[in-house]
Structure 1
Amino acid sequence: MASKTIAAGPPRTASLSTRWREAMTGYLFIAPALAGLLLFFAFPTIRALQISLTDWNLMRPAEWVGFENYARLFADGTFWESLRITLAYVAWNIPVQTLLGLLIAVLADRLAKSVWLRAVIIAPYLISNVVAGLVWMLMLDPLIGITNNFLTLIGLPPQTFMASPDQAVVSLAGISVWRHVGFTALLFYAGLQSIPKDLYEAARLDGASEFAMFRLITLPLLRPVLVFVLVTSVIGSFQVFDVIAVTTQGGPAGSTRAILWYIYEHAFQLGGMGYASAMSMVLFVALIGVTLAQLRFLRADQSDLA
């Protein structure tokens, strides 16, 4: 018995040594990303939390006020209005972008698998948000924009688009859909390639229709991609800023004053860095809650291919 125990010792030590080397190799690979995460995300978040407990206008030393900024925030009607505007933007942007991207991906997979077609689909995503905003601001201009010329040509009345409080949020969401739908479609297209084709062949032999195969095979097996698309696009939509900055700047009449633009106004235009930091922390917590809810609802930790 003793000899067996002694003989089992070296392999176990070697196994532990191998696992330790593999772990260290893994840590070395993630070290640059971890350093960036700590430097550009974790530290600024902690610093923002500290600033949110102060009254600071960037010109004088910060004055400790505790939770006064948070109490003021929950009584701020403009903050809740900016949150409502942000939710309206998300409600227009996400469903249209997701459904249209899925439709384009399915059509590209079934009808045309050309590389050039995928290049055309992804092209708008290669344009920055600022450039896209400026281009569409000119195209949607009520007086000189080409969009109203086209509407008049086909017999529809001209629209005011971003110059109207009723249409501004929808117009901004349309710009976002135009820019991001190609990337969303490409993600769905990549997910479609990972679905085993023999599942469709078996379903056809059983007499399943195209819609039935889409509902019972495609959608369930695309769930991991759908989770990624929804989580990232919702987080990005809540943080809309650059398109607003180059087009409406919160107008007209505050109709596009999204939450991030309201934070910017208080931080750099009104000199309320402490109050702006408090709003950013509330937004941070809200996004964590929304993300966790999406992951749980969409069962992100489960796979239908298992």
Structure 2
Amino acid sequence: MGDAKIALLFIAPALVGFIAFYLVPTVRGIYLSFTNYSLLGDPLWIGIKNYATIFTDKLFWNAMGVTGEYVVLNIVFQTVIALGLAVLMHRVPKSTLVRGVLLMPYLVANVIVALLWFWMLDYQMGIVNQVLSWVGLPRVAFFGSETWAIPTIAFINVWRHMGYTALLLLAGLQAIPKNVYEVASRDGAGPWKTFWRITMPLLRPVLVLVLVVTVIGSFQIFDTVAVTTGGGPINASRVIQMYIYQKAFTEQDFGYASALSVILFAILGIVAFLQMKFLRGNESDLD
């Protein structure tokens, strides 16, 4: 048996899973996006009517705006905090305990994390609002306020994912040769100049990969919203994934929900492509 056949044998289980659970559902979803379909009947071909409706759907644009706000908050804070943690872990003595503590929130199911913070941030009984009352500050309706709903959800997910993101960036930092820093030190470069002139350029491929994965994951936020706000108050936290879910499983409009999914898929593909192209994620400054 040749090497190619052995390789195919090893990837066959993953390939079967990819075809069964990704490729086939994707193709069927694209087909359903051109139909009027509910579970009560057969798909009825209607062409691009669903897509035409999307561009005049105010709820869709509201959902995209809400999702965009969440993505910006999540990406900015998660990346900055994770990068800071990665640099600290790289410079201080290595500790498996510290890394385990940072990674622990990521190992907890997202629904459990959402419930935990939902109870802690409850307006009446939550410990956070209790502390605010004790110090003389007004209580905050973290999940019941149109202003605070999305920032609170973003905070929860930053808290959960920052340790995992920091470990990915730490792996990138550890791949940078130490002699590069030694040469910079001999040339009189300070820590701040070394960070911006050496660390960041050499870390770019890993940082871009982290940004692509994080952006795609941020656009797919659903479970935290479903557990805490359900898309409310009003439409203040109804992200695009929640809107797709409501169209499909609440209104039984699977054709329209499929069209929304295809639009989201296209947006994610374009965003990932632009990130890789303009941030030069496939290039490295290491010789």
TM range (shorter): over 0.9
Q: How far apart, CA to CA, are the structure 1 residues paired with 2:198 and 2:5?
A: 41
Taking the TM superposition and a 5 Å limit, the aligned residue runs for 1:185-200 are 185-200=166-181
- Counterpart amino acid of residue 218 in structure 1: T
Per-residue CA deviation, residues 257-280 of structure 1 (Å, 9 max, x unaligned), is: 100100000101011010000000
Taking the TM superposition and a 5 Å limit, the aligned residue runs for 1:31-46 are 31-46=12-27
* Residue of structure 1 in register with 2:259 after alignment: 278
Q: How far apart, CA to CA, are the structure 1 residues paired with 2:225 and 2:135?
A: 29
- Counterpart amino acid of residue 195 in structure 2: F
Q: How far apart, CA to CA, are the structure 2 residues paired with 1:66 and 1:274?
A: 11
Q: How far apart, CA to CA, are the structure 2 residues paired with 1:176 and 1:98?
A: 12
* Residue of structure 1 in register with 2:35 after alignment: 54
Q: Secondary structure at the match of 1:161?
A: coil
- Counterpart amino acid of residue 182 in structure 1: G
* Residue of structure 2 in register with 1:87 after alignment: 68
| Aligned residues: CA RMSD | 1.3
Q: How far apart, CA to CA, are the structure 1 residues paired with 2:137 and 2:205?
A: 41
* Residue of structure 2 in register with 1:242 after alignment: 223
Aligned CA distance change for structure 1 residues 38 and 90 (closer, same or farther; 3 Å): same
Matched, 1:229 2:222: no
Q: How far apart, CA to CA, are the structure 1 residues paired with 2:93 and 2:250?
A: 50
* Residue of structure 2 in register with 1:120 after alignment: 101
Matched, 1:303 2:254: no
Matched, 1:263 2:244: yes
Q: How far apart, CA to CA, are the structure 1 residues paired with 2:77 and 2:116?
A: 21
Per-residue CA deviation, residues 69-109 of structure 1 (Å, 9 max, x unaligned), is: 11111110110110110000001000100110000010111
| Structure 2: segments with no counterpart, 5+ residues | none
Per-residue CA deviation, residues 162-188 of structure 1 (Å, 9 max, x unaligned), is: 110111000000000000000001111
Q: How far apart, CA to CA, are the structure 1 residues paired with 2:194 and 2:3?
A: 43
* Residue of structure 2 in register with 1:144 after alignment: 125
Bigger Cα displacement from structure 2, 217-226 vs 168-177: 217-226
Query: How far 1:284 sits from its partner (Å)?
Result: 0.6
- Identify which of 16, 24, 32 aligns with 2:5: 24
* Residue of structure 2 in register with 1:159 after alignment: 140
- Counterpart amino acid of residue 134 in structure 1: L
* Residue of structure 2 in register with 1:73 after alignment: 54
| Structure 1: segments with no counterpart, 5+ residues | 1-19
Aligned residues: 287
For normalisation by structure 1, the TM-score amounts to 0.91
Query: How far 1:213 sits from its partner (Å)?
Result: 0.9
- Counterpart amino acid of residue 6 in structure 2: T
Query: How far 1:153 sits from its partner (Å)?
Result: 4.2
* Residue of structure 1 in register with 2:194 after alignment: 213
Bigger Cα displacement from structure 2, 61-70 vs 117-126: 61-70
Per-residue CA deviation, residues 239-269 of structure 1 (Å, 9 max, x unaligned), is: 1111111110000111011001000001010
Query: How far 1:233 sits from its partner (Å)?
Result: 0.7
Q: How far apart, CA to CA, are the structure 2 residues paired with 1:153 and 1:229?
A: 40
Q: Secondary structure at the match of 1:222?
A: helix
- Counterpart amino acid of residue 47 in structure 1: R
Query: How far 1:139 sits from its partner (Å)?
Result: 0.7
Bigger Cα displacement from structure 2, 152-161 vs 66-75: 152-161
Per-residue CA deviation, residues 55-77 of structure 1 (Å, 9 max, x unaligned), is: 11211222111111111111101
Query: How far 1:112 sits from its partner (Å)?
Result: 3.4
Percent identity of paired positions between Structure 1 and Structure 2: 48
Q: Secondary structure at the match of 1:257?
A: coil
Q: How far apart, CA to CA, are the structure 2 residues paired with 1:157 and 1:57?
A: 47
